[in-house]
């Protein structure tokens, strides 16, 4: 337990504290967190207690991203003070992954992507900047890295993703400075951009794409587009290689059309059929081996296979890499008082996106509030739309609506942009995505 108390000063120093925490706890977490038994939690509870008091039901939300911030805000707002809401989130500024590719392409500044928790606090959410380090489901408490614990009536976990150990041969988290994933917001994104800008003339940018399922299915391919956009203007003889373990990917026809039209000859996508899944990297030598062929590269963006954020596993609500949930309210199959939202959830047909996490959070908030206060619970409705930018004023989108069945969240209806659309429409689609970004971030953070 002593070790836990050492962390906070490390944690508050950088934008991407999540990553630091991972580095620091990789070795520790199994031993310590799995040991957060009822007894350990009880001893932690003594110094600091957030138990809501006044007999109000208490909801604890872990993770202030697309799912967690939305859920906390909606429960606090809609219950009008009847439910106490505590949000546990280590970072003081949330940097969105959505639109981070546009930052790589030069369409957004880093500051455009940062959001504070001031609006949530003003809306009545008790925001605690700390890590949740364990969950005792019997005692219904969450342990904090800074010491102490918080007790809950209902617990909502929306911790996003972590990476599967050993997913890409030669890469682990200690290599993330040499070969960034840039798949969590903040400093990793900045690092990748800096490396892109420092590429020598005619250099090579490599991406190792992830296997399904992963957060933001079109994300890697929008990134390739944005990197190509940057290189076309600044380093036009540079090349992009993508090693992909999948035979096809989201919006593939749209991306491939866009790549051919705008970035002809620059992007070499190597799919599963051509050995794109047979990859290893050497971060010290800056080489990538694809199907036995070794290439020296200047930038290597490794996006490994993903799993639910570790706290879900520590809470014991995962099965394999993800946390199975009930579609009607996002409660876990393992525990009716623990809910999992967003990327970490295994829910059925919805893609892992910020939009999906936000949509699931509202269904969950309605159900949790109903369970605690007796307010009316309406049937679950979910939707998602993912926009991607291919080039300046060239936006495309894919979307669907979903409903809850006994078995899963099931797709109802959907649409996708068509190839060969008029420039006007593509521009309107891009402008709409800007509207969506403003809308969803206002919806998450309340300002």
Partner 1 sequence: MRIALTVALALGMSGVAQADGLGDAEKGAKVFTQCKGCHQVGEGAETRIGPHLNGVFGRAAGSLEDVRYSPSMKRMGSDGMVWDAATLDAYIENPRALVSKTRMSFRGIKDAQERSDLLAYLRIYSDNPADIPEAEPTALGTDHDIDPAILAIQGDPEYGEYLASECKTCHQSSGANDGIPSITLWPTEDFVVAMHAYKRKLRPHPVMQMISGRLNDEEIAALAAYFKDLEE
Q: Give the footprint of partner 1 on this chain (CB under 8 A).
A: 74, 78, 355, 358-359, 362, 366, 376, 378, 381, 383, 385, 397, 399-401, 412-415, 422, 424-425, 427-428, 431-440, 442-443
Q: Are 240 and 272 in contact (CB under 8 A)?
A: no
Q: Which is nearer to ligand HEC, 318 or 394 (CB)?
A: 394
Q: Which is nearer to ligand HEC, 103 or 436 (CB)?
A: 436
Binding flag, residue 131, ligand FAD (CB under 6 A): yes
The kind and range of the H/E element at 310 are helix 310-314
Instruction: Find the shortest distance in angstroms from Cβ 95 to partner 1.
Output: 19
* Residues of span 421-440 touching ligand FAD by CB under 6 A: none
Instruction: Find the shortest distance in angstroms from Cβ 395 to ligand FAD.
Output: 10
Total residues binding ligand FAD (CB under 6 A): 40
Q: Are 399 and 413 in contact (CB under 8 A)?
A: no
Binding flag, residue 432, ligand HEC (CB under 6 A): yes
Binding flag, residue 402, ligand HEC (CB under 6 A): no
Total residues binding ligand HEC (CB under 6 A): 3
Distance of CA 345 to the CA centre of its chain: 11
Q: Which of 7, 98, 259, 430 binds ligand FAD (CB under 6 A)?
A: 98
Alpha carbons 312 and 29: distance in angstroms, whole number = 13
Q: Where are the alpha helices (DSSP H) in 80-131?
A: 100-105, 118-122
Binding flag, residue 87, ligand FAD (CB under 6 A): no
Pairing of strands 267-270, 239-243: parallel
**HSE-up of residue 71 (Cα within 13 Å, Cβ side):** 37
Cβ-proximal residues to 92 (8 Å cutoff; 6+ apart), any chain: 12, 116, 117, 129
Q: Which of 385, 417, 433, 441 binds ligand HEC (CB under 6 A)?
A: 385
Q: Which is nearer to ligand HEC, 332 or 385 (CB)?
A: 385
* Residues of span 25-44 touching ligand FAD by CB under 6 A: none
Alpha carbons 118 and 200: distance in angstroms, whole number = 42
Tokens encoding 179: 């070969």
**Ramachandran category for residue 81: left, alpha or beta (phi over 0 → left; psi -120 to 50 → alpha):** left
Q: Which of 50, 255, 436, 437 binds ligand HEC (CB under 6 A)?
A: 436
Q: Which is nearer to partner 1, 47 or 435 (CB)?
A: 435
> Any idea of the CA torsion for 255, 261, 262, 264, to the nearest 10 degrees?
100
Q: Are 102 and 389 in contact (CB under 8 A)?
A: yes
Instruction: Find the shortest distance in angstroms from Cβ 104 to partner 1.
Output: 21
Q: Which is nearer to ligand HEC, 91 or 366 (CB)?
A: 366
Alpha carbons 283 and 181: distance in angstroms, whole number = 12
Q: Which is nearer to ligand FAD, 61 or 199 (CB)?
A: 61
**Rounded (to 5) percent helix, strand, coil in the chain:** 35, 25, 40
Instruction: Find the shortest distance in angstroms from Cβ 376 to partner 1.
Output: 7
Q: How many helices (H) and strands (E) does the chain have?
A: 13, 24
Q: What is the DSSP letter of 174?
A: G
Instruction: Find the shortest distance in angstroms from Cβ 435 to ligand HEC.
Output: 6
Q: Which positions from 229 to 268 touch ligand FAD by CB under 6 A, shown as an x/- string?
A: ----------------------------------------
Binding flag, residue 421, ligand HEC (CB under 6 A): no
Binding flag, residue 403, ligand HEC (CB under 6 A): no
Binding flag, residue 216, ligand FAD (CB under 6 A): yes
Q: What is the DSSP letter of 106?
A: T
Alpha carbons 43 and 35: distance in angstroms, whole number = 13
Alpha carbons 332 and 159: distance in angstroms, whole number = 14
Q: Among ligand HEC, partner 1, ligand FAD, none, what binds residue 378 when CB lies within 5 to 8 Å by partner kind?
A: partner 1
Tokens encoding 207: 């991406």
Binding flag, residue 125, ligand FAD (CB under 6 A): no
Tokens encoding 395: 């936006």
Q: Which of 200, 296, 186 is nearest to 176 (CA)?
A: 186
Q: Which of 343, 372, 400, 402 binds ligand FAD (CB under 6 A)?
A: 343
Q: Which is nearer to ligand FAD, 94 or 163 (CB)?
A: 94
For residue 435, whether the previous peptide bond is cis, meaning omega lies within 30 degrees of 0, is: no
Q: Which is nearer to ligand HEC, 133 or 356 (CB)?
A: 356
Q: Among ligand FAD, ligand HEC, partner 1, none, what binds residue 159 when CB lies within 5 to 8 Å by partner kind?
A: ligand FAD
Instruction: Find the shortest distance in angstroms from Cβ 315 to ligand FAD.
Output: 10
Alpha carbons 30 and 249: distance in angstroms, whole number = 34
Binding flag, residue 387, ligand HEC (CB under 6 A): no
The residues that touch ligand HEC, with contacts defined as CB under 6 A, are 385, 432, 436
């Amino acid at each position: 337990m002593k070790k836990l108390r050492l962390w906070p000063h490390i944690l508050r120093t950088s934008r991407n504290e999540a990553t630091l925490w991972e580095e620091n706890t990789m070795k520790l977490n199994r031993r310590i967190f799995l040991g957060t038994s009822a007894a350990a939690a009880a001893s932690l509870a003594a110094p600091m207690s957030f138990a809501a008091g006044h007999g109000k039901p208490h909801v604890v939300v872990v993770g202030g991203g697309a799912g967690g911030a939305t859920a906390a805000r909606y429960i606090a707002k809609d219950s009008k003070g009847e439910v106490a809401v505590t949000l546990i989130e280590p970072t003081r500024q949330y940097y969105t992954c959505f639109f981070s590719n546009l930052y790589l392409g030069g369409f957004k500044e880093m500051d455009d992507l940062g959001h504070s928790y001031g609006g949530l606090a003003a809306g009545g959410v008790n925001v605690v900047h700390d890590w949740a380090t364990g969950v005792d489901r019997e005692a219904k408490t969450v342990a904090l890295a800074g010491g102490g614990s918080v007790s809950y009536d209902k617990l909502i976990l929306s911790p996003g993703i972590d990476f599967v150990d050993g997913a890409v041969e030669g890469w682990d988290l200690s290599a993330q400075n040499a070969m960034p994933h840039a798949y969590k917001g903040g400093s990793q994104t900045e690092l990748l951009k800096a490396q892109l800008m420092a590429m020598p003339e005619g250099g090579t940018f490599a991406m190792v794409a992830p296997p399904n399922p992963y957060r933001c299915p079109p994300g890697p391919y929008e990134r390739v587009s944005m990197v190509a956009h940057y290189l076309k203007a600044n380093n036009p003889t540079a090349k992009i290689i993508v090693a992909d373990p999948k035979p096809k990917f989201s919006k593939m026809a749209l991306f491939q059309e866009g790549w051919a039209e705008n970035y002809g000859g620059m992007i070499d996508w190597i799919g599963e059929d051509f050995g794109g899944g047979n990859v290893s990297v050497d971060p010290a030598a800056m080489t990538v081996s694809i199907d036995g062929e070794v290439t020296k590269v200047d930038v290597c963006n490794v996006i490994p296979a993903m799993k639910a954020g570790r706290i879900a596993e520590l809470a014991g609500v995962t099965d394999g890499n993800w946390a199975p949930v009930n579609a009607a309210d996002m409660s876990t199959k393992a525990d009716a008082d623990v809910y999992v939202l967003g990327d970490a959830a295994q829910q059925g047909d919805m893609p892992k996106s910020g939009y999906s996490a936000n949509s699931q959070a509202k269904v969950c908030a309605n159900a949790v509030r109903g369970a605690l206060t007796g307010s009316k619970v309406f049937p679950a409705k979910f939707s998602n739309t993912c926009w991607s930018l291919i080039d300046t004023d060239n936006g495309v989108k894919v979307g669907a609506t979903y409903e809850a069945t006994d078995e899963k969240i099931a797709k109802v209806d959907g649409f996708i942009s068509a190839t060969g659309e008029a420039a006007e429409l593509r521009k309107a689609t891009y402008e709409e995505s800007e509207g969506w970004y403003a809308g969803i971030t206002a919806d998450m953070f309340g300002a």
